[in-house]
Structures are given as C-alpha cells and as structure tokens.
Amino acid sequence: MKHTLSVLLQNKPGALSRVTGLFSGRGFNIESLCVAETLDSKVSCMTLVTRGDDAIVEQITKQLHKLIDVIKVTDITEGEFVEREMVLIRVKAEANTRAEVLRIIDIFRGKVVDVSPTTYTVEITGQETKIKAVIDILRPIGIKEIIRTGTIATARAPKN
C-alpha cells in the first residue's frame, strides 16, 4: 500500500543523505521525495512517498525516527490529508492540435508557461490521479517531455 510520510528534519548538510541512505541500505523503496526549508530555517520538511505492507512501513517510520537528525515522522495517510504535485509537460502543439491542447489544459485548470512553434509547455497541479489523467489524455497528441515535482502533502487541520 502507498504511504505518504511527512518528515521534519534538521536542515543540516548530510541530513538528506542519511534518509536516502537508510532507504537504499535497507531495501525500502522511495516513489517520490520532496524536501525544502520550513518557516524555521533550521528545519526542513520532507514529503516521502513509499510503498509497503504495514510491517514495512512501521519499520520505515521507526528507522527514520532513529536518525539523530530527524525531528518528527508522520504517516499522513493514516488520517485526512491534502496532497499536491506539479508537472511540467512539453506537448506537441501543431496547427491541427494547438486548439485542442489548450482546451484540455483549460479543463484541468492548467497554464501554458512556454510556447514554441510546435510545442506548448504546460503546468498542471493536483493530486496524483489528476496528473495521471492529464498525461493519459495528452499522450496520443504527443508528449515530448515530462518533469514532475513529486508529491507534497499535509494533514488536514482539525475542524473543531
């Protein structure tokens, strides 16, 4: 099963490689990894998407906790959460398809961020399922390149 882990860690040189080294060394998989500074510049937040049964994810969580540079690990898939990913897609846009591409992008509330005589580069943000839908629908038109950020996620704030 897919799990999205939110990891707070010290913003120190080498901290990221402690995490990635742990995954490669222990044979855990990483589907995507996103990391950047938080409001506190001494702390980074990492969103890490991994796959495994409950026992493996428990082990991953404990092993991450054990790293001295790690402050907090949350498996946010355990509760309600919001996740987003951004993708930049360079898609073929020639005379006969330019209008169609624009329509599709519009439906997905994407933006064109770069234009060439034969391509559009479009920016789409959303959940993994939405990204997949866009890619699937643009693929027959001709996708030249895809760059994805990987998922970032946060638990929903309590409502009361």
Partner 1 sequence: MSKITGSQAIIKCLQEEGVDTIFGFPGGAVIDLYDELLDSDIKHVLVRHEQGAVHAADGYARASGKVGVALLTSGPGATNGVTAIATAYMDSIPVVVFTGQVPRALIGNDAFQEVDIVGITRPCTKHNYLVSDPNELVATIREAFYLASSGRPGPVLIDLPKDVVASMMSFPDKKPIKMKTYQPTVDPHPGQVEKACKACLKAKRPMLYIGGGVILSNANKELTELAEKLSIPVTMTLMGLGGFPGTNPLSLGMLGMHGSYASNMAVAKSDLLIAVGARFDDRVTGRLDAFAPHAEIIHIDIDPTSISKNVDVDIPIVADCKHALRAMNSWFDDAKQFDGKAIKEKHKPWLEQVAQWNEKHPLTYHEEGDIIKPQYVIEVLNKLTGGDAIITTEVGQNQMWAAQFYKFNEPRRLLTSGGLGTMGYGLPAAIGAKLAFPDKTVIDVAGDGSIQMNIQELATARQYNAPVKVAILNNGYLGMVRQWQELFYNKRYSATVMEVTPDFVELAKAYGAVGLRATTKDEVEPVIKEALATDNLVIMDFAVSREEGVFPMVPAGKATTEMLLV
Q: Residues in the site for partner 1, rule: CB under 8 A?
A: 10, 13-14, 17-18, 21-22, 25, 55, 58-59, 62-63, 65-66, 68-71
CB of 58 to partner 1, least distance (A): 7
128 near 85, Cβ under 8 Å?
yes
Contact assessment for residue 82 and residue 154, using Cβ atoms and an 8 Å cutoff? yes
CB-nearer residue toward partner 1: 68 or 157: 68
* Choice between 71 and 86, CB closer to partner 1: 71
Question: Whole-number minimum distance, CB 113 to partner 1, in Å?
Answer: 35
- The label of the residue with tokens 């799990």 reads 3
Closer to partner 1 by CB, 37 or 145: give it.
Answer: 37
Q: Which runs of E-coded beta strand occur in the chain?
A: 2-10, 32-37, 43-51, 70-75, 81-92, 111-115, 119-126, 143-148, 152-155
Choice between 24 and 118, CB closer to partner 1: 24
Based on the number of CB atoms within 10 Å of its own CB, is 147 exposed (0-12), middle (13-18) or buried (19 or more)? exposed
| Smaller CB separation from partner 1, 51 or 66 | 66
| Minimum CB–partner distance for residue 53 and partner 1 (Å) | 12
In angstroms, give the least distance from the CB of 20 to partner 1: 10
Q: In whole angstroms, give the CA distance from residue 6 to residue 34.
A: 10
**Smallest gap from residue 34 Cβ to partner 1 (A):** 21
